[in-house]
Chain A
Amino acid sequence: MNWSLFFDLTVSGLTLGSVYALIALGYSMVYGILKLLNFAHGDVYMIGAFLGYFALQGLGGPGKANVTAWFAVSLMFLASMLGCGILGVVIERFAYRPLRNAPRIAPLISALGVSFFLQNSALLLFGASFRDYGTFELIGGKTYQVGKNLFFSVPQLLTFVSSIALMVVLTLLVARTRIGKAMRATSFDREAAAMMGIDVDRVISATFFIGSALAGAAGVMFGLVFGQIYHFMGFLAGLKGFTAAVIGGIGSIPGAMLGGFVVGLTESYATGYLPQGSTFQNLYVFSLLIVVMLVRPSGLLGRADIKKV
């Protein structure tokens, strides 16, 4: 067995998986509360990547920044998360909230509309060409080695560690705080939660803020690791994040994290080991999804819904 290849694939799979997991969390949280497939989520991620890029440009650009690299990276994350969070709240307020009591399909179409709108606004404002984060100039190309075969770069480590940190914070937020309790109650039964005096609208806004902020962080991570961003990047990433959420069990937070890493590793290993993996990697990921759906329709960590009549 070629251990060097295996470790390479694992590292890149875990990096991709962190990005997917963060996107999946937004999908999953929104689905848990509103039972809405938020198709615009991938495009929020794309906007997040661009916000990070412009934050970096605002600081003077990679390499020429008049602040230290770490401060620049933190500012990029902050700008992107804050911006995306606000964007998510605005989207919910104007595109989904008026449709709270409409037939199920109406918010879905509205979400598609938002997705169209964001994608093409980005095309209009930022152009169709790729933008380069310039990670090399920003952080440098240093690679770390552990043992004989395990290599990883600084952005990869940063992505993995910060996504784990964000997930821990999110888990604590949902499990320990007042707003987390309210979120759990609302996702369990919205009407009952409203009757218990929970301000459901505010809880939903908070959910969108958190989910979109995570997507924004994922966008910056993607930019730092892979360098290039463009206006259409949200579509496939959104689809993968969505796959991750479903594989893990949509509506379940640990499920979304697990699903993200499963999808990232599958994609990475498929590229390395499966026949014609680099062309058909997406097909392998989708096949995995269909198999999971057929064997465990509610996902790996999801609870099966018991429907009362």
Chain B
Amino acid sequence: MASDLPERPDARDRPRVGVDEWVAQVEGRRERGRGLTGAAWRFWEWLPPFGRLGLFVVPAALFPIFTGSNTLSRFGVFTLLYVLLGLGLNIVVGFSGLLDLGYVAFYGFGAYTYGFLASGHSGHHWQAEAAIPVVVVLTALLGLLLGLPSRRLLGDYLAIVTLFFGQAFVTFVNNANYINFPFFGHLDLTGGANGLDRIDPLDFFGYRLVTTKQNFYFLLGAFVVVISALYFANESRTGRAWRALREDPLAAEAMSIPVNRLKLLAFSFGAATAGFTGAIYGAIHTGAFPGDYDIGLLITVYAVVILGGTGSLAGVVLGAIIVNCAPEILRTPNQAGWLFYGAIVVALLVKLRPWRRLAGVLAALVGLGFALRGIADAVWPRMTAGTGQGAGLAARMVDHWVLLPRHPEKMADFAYVILIAAILLVTQIRGIWRTVALVPTLYLVAFVWENRLIQETAGATRLILLGALLIGLMNARPQGLMGTARVEIV
């Protein structure tokens, strides 16, 4: 009976007809209420914007004190580069909803243009304070040029044209070292497949940025400027207009919002940010190479933006940290083991409730491992005759637990294929059987990791895990980590 139901706790601010915010936020509210994540969310909501910025900038500014220059370059400099790239892409994809798959070309264009203006290769040596504005303006113009077709092309068609623009850029720089121009004759613009080398480091009014630490602080400063500018742009009239464009171009046009101008603006803003970042990247690495601006980077930058949640500035920062740091950690097998097992344990802690079930799974897992090793020792000694590939504590801990065959190559390859099938199966079955099936699957995970994946942590494994992460995340949270779910009302 309807009258027996208790009154809804939110009866006072219930949605009215046509107001979908309540529906849209239902997931967020459900998550926000609980435990540690809930507290973190509330703290985040309570912080003013500059406080949120400080939450990232203060630890980042302290980071170089504790690390050497190599670590700083791999974790600090690259994360900031990804953040800047992600912020630029976020204007185009997140704010105004245009699917620009040629974005990386602007990054490359920035690096090559800077390299043309200031390098031993071209012979020009401009100061950075002159070269960087020129690069930014030129890239913005190029963005405008690519944006022109976007007035006619809708949605996916725009994505296609821009994707090929990016490919055309890579092909061009790869081969532009022997073009014969009319009037100019033979010109070597890009160095071809060997790339543009000997690019000057950044040099502002005679102050040269040479060490990693200097570059890092310069990038951090650039980040603060760019993110503040974007924050205010997003809150401004233009930002609102972009959002209107993203939600419904047709309705926006009907509201007399200048749709075409806004699209072009978004394209050139995004391009300018990418060009700026590209110039810095070129200067830091004193070189620009065609392979750096290929589809791989595009996918990575998209992963940054999507992972964090399109349209969210904080999401870009979070996404860049995850996307850059996780694969970097995976490079060294020792750390990779910790990250891998750590991620699995955290996932189990979050997903397996109640705790009795979790304890059961862990106990069964440990038991299964020792039992299998015992049986294998007695029946089939080859299975335990190998030595672990991994080094460090994490690997030593599992050495006596997981099966390590003497020549694991072929067996591990088959196990890998079976593992994929097993994981897919586990996602399909429900209830207690899923918990039961989880135990051998987890054991198989450890087996494949120790025997096969750990050998390739610098190559295939990182990218396999990144791919799996993208698929899994999209399945779990299609709107990204910090994004807001939108409800389409038909």
Seen from chain A, the residues whose Cβ lies within 8 Å of a Cβ on chain B are 31, 35, 37, 90, 94-95, 98-99, 102-110, 112-121, 123-125, 235, 239, 242-243, 246, 250, 276, 279-280, 282-283, 286-287, 289-290, 293-294, 297, 307, 309
Contacts and interface: CB of A to CB of B under 8 A. Distances in A.
Given A120-B464, A276-B175, A113 B99 contact: no
22 contacts: A31-B156, A37-B160, A94-B424, A105-B310, A106-B479, A109-B474, A110-B475, A112-B467, A113-B470, A116-B467, A117-B468, A118-B467, A120-B460, A124-B456, A124-B461, A124-B464, A125-B416, A246-B157, A250-B156, A283-B168, A283-B172, A286-B164
* Interface-central residue, B165, B456, B467, by most chain A CB under 10 Å: B467
Contacts of B222: none
Interface in B425-480: 427, 452-453, 456, 459-461, 463-464, 466-471, 474-475, 478-479
B87 interface: no
Interface string B30-72: 0000000000000000000000000000000000000000000
Lowest 4 CB-CB distances: which A-B pairs, in order? A113-B470, A116-B467, A117-B467, A102-B478
Contacts of B460: 120-121, 123-124
* Interface-central residue, A35, A98, A116, A246, by most chain B CB under 10 Å: A116
B486 to A, nearest CB: 7
B167 A286 contact: yes
Q: Is the interface of A mostly helix, strand, loop or mixed?
A: helix
A205 B452 CA distance: 32
Interface in B179-229: none
A116 B299 contact: yes
A109 B93 CA distance: 13
B403 interface: no
Interface of B: 93, 99, 149, 152-157, 159-161, 163-165, 167-168, 171-172, 175, 250, 295, 299, 302-303, 306, 310, 413, 416-417, 420, 424, 427, 452-453, 456, 459-461, 463-464, 466-471, 474-475, 478-479, 486
A108 B306 CA distance: 10
Given A116-B467, A293-B153, A109 B302 contact: yes
A94 B468 CA distance: 11
A297 B474 contact: no
Contacts of A123: 459-460
A274 B237 CA distance: 49
Contacts of A290: 149, 161, 164-165
